[in-house]
Structure 1
């Protein structure tokens, strides 16, 4: 250490005032936005206007000071990041709350992670009542302690050793009031402080346990420069950062000895960030105290085993150093709130799985969605049930007419309260884009705010129009996206398209048509098509048969790249769907880094699903091997696939035979007579002529006469339309469930349902008529959290 070292100091609670940070908020919009998102209220309004008088309340004061301190530091050292302290600074320190800023500046955690810690700390401290604190001025701490002992105030502790003649005491309010009177009688100035509890004393030790449990979810990076701990008046031990932070709440603030230690280490320059409160204390200490040369100030260890156990890192590491909010806030870090019966292993809660940003964005308790299922299998009843339970789910609008979609939408909106979540599916319509546009018109007209976009290969004008119509400026002049799109993707190029701003050519086209405003067109460059991407692995229905563990990691890296490249103000969240039918599968999704999970197949075998009772009875019996790939009826000609139930039905084999025939022959007339008889007599139970007649009637009823003309001119297209009839028929009879032609049922499902059936076998959920979508959601998430807890315990040897 050089003979002329420097320390940077951060002030703590008590230095706040209305109007603080006024000159800083315009300079750091990113940090202000991140802070307000994490806190759930406008930090700028709190600091500058304090309309509700909350700034003096602990749970508001602490986050506010942390953010303002950080902005002061960033303005002072504009080229520094946390962890990159100016070369001439040899130490960092902070008074109580300010210690978090010091650790942030030393690179131990990111700005956002530090704010979450401070937010939790303030909430815990504000919830404690019955105690108080008082400042004793004009006498030394030794005299204060002697007087407390002499006059029988044994339940009062010294909480802050602030300066040679400024000491803060803490204790139960009645005894503290008596002590204040006692000091006053001796002409010793003693001032009660406006706090709700006896902080930094034995009276708040229970908070240590709660805060230690919260800290247990984080791992901390190495210190880039020594930080002096309030609890020890010595530099932080890099292996005991969490323990020290937990102990700090109920340990005295040894500020005098902290400064004396720095003096003994050759520190001559003390720079306070953003205030002068600590500078005055330092001046007093330097004027009357001698340096400490690393002499310990405690006779016993400060770290007790119970706290150490509590703060062992949980399943996930802390957020990355100085990540932007888009990186830090979405980290799927479970919250550890307790321990097992032996107090040894952390307990992970279902409500903390996934991304906090995602849950807050949609107002959800769990990072869990129920996806849409074709032709109303994800029914209005399902969406209503989930919405009432606080879960977001999507109505299966694919394959339904705009009139039927509207009828179900009106019912959903009528039965859910304004704050209860719901969403609608928007299926890409490659053949008839005007029908896709009609559905978007309906959603805009009815004020639908959440849409699940599926089967999109590129960004269509209708989808872009929906997105841009939801853009507006918020109260702080920030861009707000009211129209949320959950984009289901299974290909990297589609994921990239959704994470990019709307295509300029499409925006220009919409602008020329008068379908978006010039302002919306301008704003379009600042947002992605979707802030919420759902990676869909092997699933029921349309699928590319992807493997979750293969697909998600590179797409998460792409997400980070896109977020960084475009600098979006709001983070992109990425979840996982496909194959999630067991607690282990859900747990694996979160361990892979998913911000949320989406289920599908398991929900169609529930009371609320729009599948027939006969179909549900068949579904509850399938195992993981009882599904098969078949051609997708709506994309028959290009060979796209859906995954369907194969147990007890002939549909998969017959559908694949039709695709083979389509590829081999040029027209219905080319099909050999024997094969034609098999199709008409066994598959269809109708002649080609009868089927074509029904098809013509349908197209004319929906004003698509051109399809008829096209088919009459193109024999292969006519064959495709006749074969498509079979797919529509097989879906219809499965949903009606009459049973007379059960072997032809087409039921979209994936092996996740087989996994779920095995998990609930022998329980009350074995029968589909006892399965409710919201109960399944809670049960699955709770069991996933339990699985993670047990896995962590095994890993740690508990």
Structure 2
């Protein structure tokens, strides 16, 4: 017999018994009873217990304060894990944000952390941020954009390790590694390399005892598979990536002898509808992480004007553009295309750089275009860029004095940086230059909520989005559970319409 979507949903938290007219061989009758299913049961309960959460759901960090302290606070209050988008912010700004979070959530709430992004263009920045995290008692760090382990990530883990009376190693500091490649994931899954540990000990940054403990446990227990997402991304498909990281975990554990079940692999990127959440948990994800969709929430650090642009996006309204922090290396980020010319302009800037051009060697027409994009003559833009780079990276500044192509790159990086800043500030005269990190998930979310209370951006809160996604995933899991046992469930019942949760 069929079961309606309304019945599935209304009896989600009850035992459901179904009388089937026939068994698989077409003979006789059978009775199948299904236990209750709760959103809290989706994923790995060890994850929720380790991080003090109700749901195995992470409100992911969006850099430069887009994931605001307010967003983290609301995530914690509704039973999720939240990460402050501290990457790229100055230490004093980060410190103020951490104070706001700690004050609102209190000392007993541990389901939150902050973001550390690999910053090769800013020597010493990562160390300063980790120092601040340690000083302020931040116990959860989300490491993103790393291609290899850094000493400061290892240091964060090592300084939180201790041994109990029974000899077990426990950790106070937790690293979440956001990765999209198996070779990177393996570095975080394995114990810290001996050369990094020896250097940290020699520099007096960790003790000999801490180095010994760090050599026996993984650097990170929580690995986030970052599929096709907004911002930094390798545009990986979720299912192959998740499978790849599971196999990587097994390889590492075979080499190290560490229990593979201590490593929890979550999934982010493309998590925007109940279908995405349910699929992730069905694959075995310990937790899910949402990113792009939270940018349109009222707690987001994006301006209202930018959030309205996001709310109009479709799944195909995205494009790749050069990343501000790794412009010269050709690293790209995924951004919103609809309503802005940023991606097109950014790619043209990178083409000029790759050709070896400098402002002085460009044609008059190209210089006019560049001045128009910058909103000021190139020489004026260079003077402002120069003043910043001399403080942040003196070596780069010195090289640029005699290298016109390098000057072009640094000014281009400033434009890319400002594109994101204009989107946060809501600069009315620079809408066409907004850099808004966005993946296809945002468009999928917009399609799902169309015509419901979640369509207007003023109703999009972290709480309502998270609860609807988890409840919807439980609904779909119930339908899948019944179908897998041979119950006839119509295809149209594999859907969930957003509802307002109190």
Return the TM-score normalized by structure 1.
0.56
Equivalent in 646, 650, 665 of residue 341 of structure 2:
650
Determine if the alignment matches structure 1 residue 538 to structure 2 residue 228.
yes
Q: 2:367 aligned with 1:676, yes or no?
A: yes
Displacement after TM superposition at 1:767 (Å):
0.8
Could you tell me which residue of structure 1 aligns to residue 291 of structure 2? 600
Q: Structure 2 CA distance, aligned partners of 1:474 and 1:716?
A: 57
State the distance in 2 between where 1:726 and 1:545 align. Answer: 24
SS in 2 for 1:472: strand
Report the equivalent of 1:572.
Answer: 263
2:417 to 728, 742, 753: 728
Q: Cα offset for 1:696?
A: 1.6
Query: 1:418: which partner in 2?
Result: 107
> Residue 636 of structure 1: SS of its match in structure 2?
coil
Distance (Å, rounded) in 1 between the aligned partners of 2:93 and 2:87: 11
Match of residue 516 from structure 1: 206
Among candidates 459, 480, 491, match of residue 170 of structure 2: 480
Would you say the 8 A contact 1:346–1:789 is kept in 2? Answer: no
TM-aligned CA deviation for residue 346 of structure 1: 4.9
Deviation of 1:336 after TM superposition, in Å, equals 8.3
Task: Please give the residue correspondences for 1:205-284 in structure 2 after superposition, counting only pairs within 5 Å.
Answer: none
CA distance in 2, matches of 1:466, 1:550: 30
In structure 2, the partner of 1:393 is 82
* 1:300 equivalent in structure 2: none
For residue 712 of structure 1, the aligned residue among 392, 401, 404 is 401
Q: Secondary structure at the match of 1:539?
A: coil
> In structure 2, what is the equivalent of residue 787 of structure 1?
476
**Using the alignment, how far apart are the partners of 2:415 and 2:122 within structure 1?**
20
CA contact (8 A) 1:605 1:620 kept: yes
Query: Aligned residue pairs: how many?
Result: 462
1:549 pairs with 2:261: no
Shift of 1:388: 1.9
Quote how far apart the aligned CAs of 1:561 are: 2.9
**d(CA) in 1 for partners of 2:123, 2:141:** 17
Superposed counterparts of 1:97-246, under 5 Å:
none
User: Equivalents in 2 of 1:710, 1:602: separation in Å?
Assistant: 40
Contact map agreement 1:402 1:442 (CA 8 A) in 2? yes
**Among 348, 358, 377, which residue is 1:667 paired with?**
358
Tell me whether 1:365 sits opposite 2:42 in the alignment: no
Q: For residues 544-595 of structure 1, what are the alpha-carbon distances to aligned partners after superposition, in whole Å with 9 as ceiling and x for unaligned?
A: 0000011111211221332343233670000110001000011111111211
Hey, what does 1:507 align to over in structure 2? 197
Q: Which residue, 370, 379, 387 being the options, matches 1:697?
A: 387
Deviations 1:191-216 (A, max 9, x none): xxxxxxxxxxxxxxxxxxxxxxxxxx
CA distance in 2, matches of 1:628, 1:600: 17
Q: Which residue of 1 aligns with 2:444?
A: 755
Q: Secondary structure at the match of 1:526?
A: coil
Cα separation, 1, equivalents of 2:368 and 2:402: 25
Q: 1:746 aligns with which of 431, 435, 438?
A: 435
Which stretch has the larger CA shift, 667-676 or 607-616? 667-676
Query: What do the CA deviations read for 1:65-112 (whole angstroms, capped 9, x no partner)?
Result: xxxxxxxxxxxxxxxxxxxxxxxxxxxxxxxxxxxxxxxxxxxxxxxx
State TM-score, norm by structure 2. 0.89
- 8 Å CA contact retained: 1:340, 1:347: no
Counterparts of 2:318 and 2:36, CA distance in 1: 36
Distance change (3 Å), C-alpha of 1:564 and 1:353: farther
Q: Using a 3 Å threshold, how does the CA distance of structure 1 residues 779 and 689 change in structure 2: closer, same or farther?
A: same
Whether contact under 8 Å (2:123, 2:393) holds in the other structure is no
Asked if residue 428 in structure 1 is aligned to residue 118 in structure 2, the reply is: yes
Alignment of 1:322-341 (within 5 A): 338-339=15-16
Contact 1:377 1:610 in 2 (8 A): yes
Query: Which residue number in structure 1 is paired with residue 9 of structure 2?
Result: none
Quote the Cα distance in structure 2 between the aligned partners of 1:381 and 1:351.
23
Q: Residues of 1 paired with 2:65 and 2:459: CA distance? A: 20
Match in the other structure for 1:106: none
What whole-Å deviation, never above 9, does each CA across 1:368-409 have from its counterpart, x for those lacking one?
101100110000110111112221110001111111111111
| CA shift for structure 1 position 337 | 5.8
The list of structure 1 runs, each at least 4 consecutive aligned residues, that deviate by more than 6 angstroms after superposition, is: 340-343
Say if 1:563 and 1:337 are closer, same or farther in 2 by CA, change over 3 A: farther
Q: Give deviations 1:629-665, integer Å, cap 9, x for gaps.
A: 1111111111111110001110111111111111112
Are the structure 2 counterparts of residues 563 and 336 from structure 1 closer, same or farther at C-alpha, using a change threshold of 3 Å? Answer: farther
Q: CA deviation at 1:626?
A: 0.9
* Structure with bigger gyration radius: 1
Structure-1 separation of matches of 2:331 and 2:14: 46
Supply the distance in 1 between the matched residues of 2:488 and 2:471 (Cα, whole angstroms): 23
Alpha-carbon distance change, 423 to 341 in structure 1, aligned in 2, over 3 angstroms:
farther
Query: Against the structure 1 CA distance between its residues 786 and 340, is the aligned structure 2 distance closer, same or farther, given a 3 Å change threshold?
Result: farther
The structure, 1 or 2, with the larger RCO (C-alpha pairs under 8 Å, 6+ apart) is: 2
SS of residue matched to 2:215: helix
Q: In 1, Cα distance between the equivalents of 2:416 and 2:43?
A: 38
Match of 1:630 among 321, 340, 344: 321
